[in-house]
Chain A
């Protein structure tokens, strides 16, 4: 049984975008704060801290989750992926990033990390989604700059490019 006292900071370690990171956290510290201010991975943004806006969405063990609705100590030992891990090994844009770029699918870019991570999981499970499916998938992320139309187009393009790249890999 793990018993962590409120009065101390406890060692937390996990793999972030394939690299082991560690830090110390009180039990109450949110994973979003730990990522940004302990680990220094500021690519993940915080927009509401009550799970509605989706800006802080990351992948935890491969599934998209709100990092503001999870404690850092709960993430101990997890595999975490964030926007910082989306680019190709050579630093060039990955497929989803490139599609966003070409479709003007971001403006201020604050909500974008959460949207990219949400769509990362969505496109894994839905290689050829319909527009309505994309809309439902996006409904857990708020963007106030665009009309989502641009993001939907980016998602369609990214899905097609992912299908092509998978076919080529075969």
Chain B
């Protein structure tokens, strides 16, 4: 396919906007001279932080012993969650709720990876050494993991002040959904389970915090991305004036995709830690921390019901969402579900809607923004439903979508839940995409493939792409009365400052906090057009400083804010500079200001280009000669635009909300082929079109489409954060949480449809960076549904799952084949059972099991074992396989003792590598050899090893149990060198083979 899908230039006249200008940012980045947080030089004496994190999904903290860590040389401060709770206020979210959140665990841990203790030491290595010296005692609790089950009364309650894990439930009725459902020809329903994922930026969280004695607050440098409304949250938590929290971001941020929004709890904790250490403290999140504990998109269960006519017209929609936000809500959560509220009906003209939102707490990593922000979950449900209705009616899904689409003559279109769809021609975009993308040929390809017996399907998906969020939408979560009490919230202010110095150099600063999108380049294009300059002459600085910049609460980089908002603000600021300079120049050119034009570095009379003054001269006049300026013109040239759109109004009394300002349109279709033998879904052909109005720079825009497609492909096929039912986290490394690499990603075709600029943004531009997050997962899912004729398509499309959908029973083994296939009772546990012959009578075996001194010799790696009570033992054991070893504190309790025949054993083992809980039963019977010991052991393992070693832990645990049993045989046999081979008959032989010891 071609190098660039977008035309080189998409512009009218001689403008820089619309030109594929190469990126300004590359000049430093490609030379290794970028400035990311960790590249910024720090003061001598700056400390480095590390966090001790919870190995459990849900547990009470019984005790924390930090004494040894505090005494360690090089350690300056050790901070517990309890101290943070004493020194800060809980971090607020947008509504009254029963959750006290301090950024660190207090009394309880609620997800694997939750910070429990923070350490500041001279370097990161020593900080991590200190973590090893901290001992935390937990009482493990039952976990709530599934969002629907978590709402049940019998589910373990995660927050003690709440009466349910569902901390917010709201019903919305728009139009007359009940009537629509009662009167419809047909109704249908579908349940969707959308997985947990994120886009894991390459640069992780980074914070540098320093106490500031002058303000009584803190100077912070971090890669926080906004919205800066959260600045208030941090200051309130720290109990300082907002002006005393100086936050700076450096010029580069290594991607975010939403995740760096919820870095702010760490900023608060780092401030407290720095205050305690009385030094600057820096924390660079490592990848394991990022994957387990930074931020993810909420997974969601949605029951979607539709009422529709025999003609395929959808008359009513009911959406019941269970949005899983993990252990805590962090502002602006639970925003994703509300950000999409206004467009709950997507691009369809559906006039009756009921929505029920459950905001659910579970024992998982708390959520945050992820590119697409609530859209993938919503549109997966709506677009799967459209496919289902088409299937039920036996009509083509695309035809069904067309019949229901908002028509061109309906714009601006007020959706039933409140979105004001600004512009577009959805049917035309679809037509153009279908033609250019070759849908007819694709259908033929499907027919041919099917004729050959292949599993081939075609999927479609459309999306309304919202951009620039209304800062008031989260208030939709409140009732009308609560909203009235709190006061109105709406708008979304963007700020850009353009200044011209005495030599005519142009400087631009802004609040867009880019993370690689090329904002410097695009802003230089916009300002250059206004001032008649070359973009190369304009210096754009987008590092931010809350103490110096113009900014408002909406500042930041999220929800496709740049193209509608920052671009408008830049346009407005530059326009004001232009007007001012025109007035100054007009006095020199002796023409009215309205007749002045800017081009080629000159300001000249419109009708006589010879009548001109150099641009820099006007700059010089403004700074060097205030006396020569027209009377009402202020000296200097510096204009700050605080741009807002009046269309962003507050939530109405009946819960209608124009959630965003501009709404682009995306349409995708694809063909997939599924391998019957392996379940691998291969994208055979994929076409994606985006109408985002005015395109500022086709190179940058295409980059956003391609990047979004890549991460959406990841979400569709391989990315998922996995938890066991007990809250154990399984996706703790980049070898477990898989992200796309160059070899997997297929090519796709971008169609550039006729653009429909937004009437509400100054340049007509809309966002484009999120569209494929919405369309791609469900487009592929619809194709899989088409190929397999199934309804329940769950992402990610891991081949093992797809193969199950294809069906067909597994062939049984021949008679007599002993299988090692697991027959799991508890899928999250490691289960080993068996029996073996021990050359000693039952009483001897029994005595051995109850004798701590002899047991200490029996348990591999046991360094100490003492009896702490009746049938209770405590010890220290070096456990591990091969080189992977760690010291564990082990507690064992025997119960149901029936000497010398039977006992059950429960135990825990805790150490830096993880925590495990297990139970087992031992039954001893007489046998010819002496005794037969039958054992049945089940072990659950959580923490680090479970998070990063999932591939191998079962095998490793079997090895350990086997080693123990072999030692038991040796001991019971008189402690001699009982040759293992002697005992490798029967089950033990099988077990030995299982663990690879047998030959």
Contact = CB atoms under 8 A, between A and B. Distances in A.
Interface of A: 26, 28-29, 36, 41-50, 52-53, 55, 82-84, 86-87, 93, 97, 100-104, 106-113, 116, 134-136, 138-153
Contacts of A150: 703, 706
A148 B710 contact: yes
A144 B742 contact: no
Contacts of B25: 109
Nearest to A146: B707
Nearest to B739: A142
Given A42-B39, A111-B202, A148 B745 contact: yes
B515 interface: yes
List of 4 A-B pairs having minimum Cβ-Cβ separation, nearest first:
A43-B32, A108-B516, A110-B254, A109-B29
B540 to A, nearest CB: 16
A49 B286 contact: yes
Contact of A101 (B30, B286, B287): B30
Contacts of A26: 125
Residue from the set B34, B286, B711 with the largest chain A CB neighbour count within 10 Å: B34
A72 B255 CA distance: 28
A45 B36 contact: yes
Contacts of A45: 36, 202-203, 254
Given A45-B36, A50-B735, A145-B255, A106 B30 contact: yes
A147 B734 contact: no
Contacts of B22: 101-102, 104
Nearest to A42: B39
21 contacts: A28-B125, A43-B33, A43-B34, A45-B254, A48-B287, A50-B287, A50-B733, A52-B735, A86-B32, A93-B30, A97-B31, A101-B26, A104-B699, A107-B255, A107-B703, A108-B203, A110-B252, A135-B743, A142-B734, A146-B707, A148-B710
B253 A83 contact: no
A145 B30 contact: no
Given A142-B741, A146-B703, A147-B706, A43 B733 contact: no
Contacts of A49: 286-287
Contact of B202 (A28, A36, A83, A144): A144
Nearest to B286: A49
A104 B707 contact: no
A47 B125 CA distance: 17
Given A101-B23, A109-B26, 9 more contacts: A84-B31, A100-B26, A101-B30, A104-B22, A104-B703, A108-B203, A108-B254, A136-B743, A144-B707
Contact of B707 (A29, A107, A134, A140): A107
Contacts of A151: 742
Nearest to A94: B30
B980 interface: no
Contacts of B707: 107, 144-147
Nearest to A43: B32
Contact of B747 (A29, A87, A140, A149): A149
Nearest to B713: A147
B202 A139 contact: no
> From DSSP, what is the main secondary structure of chain B's interface residues?
loop
Residue from the set B202, B204, B252, B699 with the largest chain A CB neighbour count within 10 Å: B202
> From DSSP, what is the main secondary structure of chain A's interface residues?
loop
A26 B74 CA distance: 15
A112 B29 contact: yes
Interface in B271-321: 284, 286-287
Contact of A146 (B284, B287, B710, B747): B710
Given A29-B125, A101-B26, A152 B254 contact: no
A106 B39 CA distance: 19
A36 B517 contact: no
A140 to B, nearest CB: 8
A144 B287 contact: no
Contacts of B287: 47-50, 53
Interface in B1-59: 3, 22-23, 25-26, 29-34, 36, 38-39
Interface string B392-409: 000000000000000000
Contacts of B204: 47
B700 interface: yes
Interface in B454-508: none
B918 interface: no
B197 interface: no
Contacts of A136: 742-743
Interface residues of B, number: 51
B379 interface: no
Nearest to A52: B734
Contact of B742 (A36, A41, A109, A138): A138
B702 interface: yes
Contacts of A28: 125
Contact of B709 (A36, A42, A46, A147): A147
Nearest to B287: A48
Contacts of B973: none
B886 interface: no
Given A28-B125, A43-B32, A144-B739, A149 B706 contact: yes
Contacts of B679: none
Nearest to A96: B30
A53 B709 contact: no
Given A142-B741, A144-B202, A148-B742, A109 B125 contact: no
A30 to B, nearest CB: 9
B743 A109 contact: no
Contacts of B706: 146-147, 149-150
A105 B201 CA distance: 16
Contact of A82 (B32, B199, B202, B699): B32
Contacts of A86: 30-32
Nearest to B200: A144
B257 interface: yes
Interface string B721-736: 0000000000001110
B542 to A, nearest CB: 13
Given A100-B26, A110-B203, A145-B255, A84 B36 contact: no
Interface string B686-703: 000000000000011011
Nearest to B698: A104
B518 interface: yes
Residue from the set A48, A101, A141, A144 with the largest chain B CB neighbour count within 10 Å: A144
A44 B200 contact: no
Given A47-B287, A144-B201, A144-B739, A109 B34 contact: yes
B454 to A, nearest CB: 23
Nearest to B711: A144
Contacts of A44: 32
Nearest to B28: A109
A34 to B, nearest CB: 12
B3 A106 contact: no
A45 B37 CA distance: 11
Nearest to B29: A109
Nearest to A28: B125
B286 A108 contact: no
A137 to B, nearest CB: 8
Contacts of B742: 134-136, 138-139, 141, 148, 151-152
A139 B31 contact: no
Nearest to B714: A144
Nearest to B291: A48
A102 B30 CA distance: 12
A82 B31 CA distance: 10
A65 B710 CA distance: 26
B202 A84 contact: no
Contact of A112 (B30, B125, B517): B30
B23 A52 contact: no
Residue from the set A55, A110, A152 with the largest chain B CB neighbour count within 10 Å: A110
A108 B202 contact: yes
A55 B254 CA distance: 11
Contacts of B33: 43, 84
B207 to A, nearest CB: 16
